[in-house]
Amino acid sequence: MTAAPRAACIIGWPVEHSRSPLIHNYWLKTYGIAGEYRREAVPPERFAAFAGSLVARGYVGANVTVPNKEAALGCSLPDEVASAVGAANTLWLDGGFLQSTNTDVEGFLNNLDACAPGWDRALGQDAGQNVVVVGAGGAARAVIYGLLTRDANRITVVNRTPDRAAALRARFGERVGIAPFEALDELLGEAALLVNTTTLGMAGHPELAVDVGRLPGHAVVADLVYVPLKTALLSAAQGRGLATADGLGMLLHQAVRGFALWFGRMPEVTAELRAVVEADLASSAA
Ligand code: NAP
């Protein structure tokens, strides 16, 4: 007997811009799995009811994007990662219960591992190795949690709104320091890794003004923004010969576990998949 096709979706508001359907439907086709991945536009006030009716709607699970990631935590059984980050982006049904996790953490780490192998080697050993995280929103929480799991012992958060950076220090402890934007250039001299988790550099937003010339030659630069694919920050870092990790790589890597949970096969992030999404981003920008 053939199993019924499975379906998953991305729940967001808005959700039209999401590339997750492109990624998951590419994998379904590539692996010959009968299934479907759809978009579901769900406003925050209807999110809890929607998440509670996933099975009735024929879904085995879902991704959750802005602005519902915090709400997703509240209406599911979160794992350790989602609880620590305070947000969930992946839901699945197990034993009749809605479970959740946050795959932005592994998306960020696995992308860095792929783009800059060994990037984390010195983070836990050398107190002089600082990580500078720009931004203190939801994405920064996932990044900082991930960095702490790789034993980073000095992370400095630079954010426009100081209270949000202070909240991250309160959440994650004394390995996280905070500094004002004005201190950013000075901090770079000791930074082994610089991560942009803000919307700065995104199409239609101002650039992140930072002098990458101050970074040490072994530093790695990561940007979570993927529209445009190559931000001014990444261009400048590459111009200096530094290793970089872009937002599209993180997006692709964060999708892996959801697919495995819903469709029963661990998918691969390949150059071909990346090219498919890059072409789609380019056609939207044209
Ligand atoms: P968020 O919670 O709204 O946080 C936005 C951050 O950007 C805050 O730190 C905010 O500072 C800062 N910011 C916005 N405008 C600014 C400006 N003009 N000057 C200085 N700082 C500014 O958003 P998020 O969910 O963390 O997402 C942040 C970015 O990460 C987005 O570009 C998103 O697309 C990207 N992201 C990418 C992936 C991926 O897989 N590649 C995954 C998740 C997120 P304040 O606190 O001062 O407002």
- The structural domains of the chain, with segments of one domain joined by +, span 6-103+255-285, 116-247
pLDDT of residue 4: 75
pTM (2 d.p.)? 0.97
pLDDT of residue 140: 98
What does CATH list as the number for 6-103+255-285?
Answer: 3.40.50.10860
Query: Would residue 29 show up in a list of annotated catalytic residues for this protein?
Result: no
Q: Is 12 in the pocket of ligand 1 (CB under 6 A)?
A: no
Residue to mutate, 13, 161, 198, ligand 1, most ligand atoms under 8 Å from C-beta: 198
3-state secondary structure at position 93: strand
Tell how far the Cα of 200 is from the centroid of ligand 1, in angstroms: 7
3-state secondary structure at position 99: strand
Per-residue pLDDT of the chain (286 residues; tens, 9 = 90+): 556 789 999 999 999 999 999 999 999 999 999 999 999 999 999 999 999 999 999 999 999 999 999 999 999 999 999 999 999 999 999 988 999 999 999 999 999 999 999 999 988 776 667 999 999 999 999 999 999 999 999 999 999 999 999 999 999 999 999 999 999 999 999 999 999 999 999 999 999 999 999 999 999 999 999 999 999 999 999 999 999 999 999 999 999 999 999 999 999 999 999 999 999 999 988 7
Cβ pair 62, 54 in contact under 8 A: yes
Atom index in ligand 1 nearest the CA of residue 248 equals 41
Residue to mutate, 15, 112, 160, ligand 1, most ligand atoms under 8 Å from C-beta: 160
Contacts of residue 147, defined as CB under 8 A and 6 or more positions apart, other chains included, come to 123, 131, 133, 155, 193
**Cα 243 from Cα 111, distance rounded (Å):** 12
In the chain the first and final C-alpha atoms are separated, in Å, by 46
**Cα 92 from Cα 57, distance rounded (Å):** 13
pLDDT of residue 2: 58
pLDDT of residue 285: 82
Q: Is the dihedral of CA 72, 73, 74, 77 positive or negative?
A: positive
Task: List, edge to edge, every strand of the sheet that includes 155-158.
Answer: 176-179, 155-158, 130-134, 191-196, 220-223, 243-245
Tell how far the Cα of 95 is from the centroid of ligand 1, in angstroms: 35
Q: Where are the alpha helices (DSSP H) in 65-218?
A: 69-74, 80-85, 104-115, 138-149, 162-172, 184-187
What does CATH list as the number for 116-247?
Answer: 3.40.50.720
How is residue 231 written in tokens?
A: 């931000």
Q: Which amino acid is at 218?
A: H
Tell how far the Cα of 159 is from the centroid of ligand 1, in angstroms: 10
pLDDT of residue 28: 98
Tell how far the Cα of 46 is from the centroid of ligand 1, in angstroms: 24
3-state secondary structure at position 32: coil
**Cα 61 from Cα 6, distance rounded (Å):** 9
Q: Is 18 in the pocket of ligand 1 (CB under 6 A)?
A: no
Q: What residue's CA is closest to ligand 1, atom 6?
A: 198
Which of 24, 69, 141, 253 is catalytic? The answer is 69
Report the b/e string of 130-164 with b at 16+ CB within 10 A: bbbbbbbebbbbbbbbbbbeeebbbbbbbbeeeee
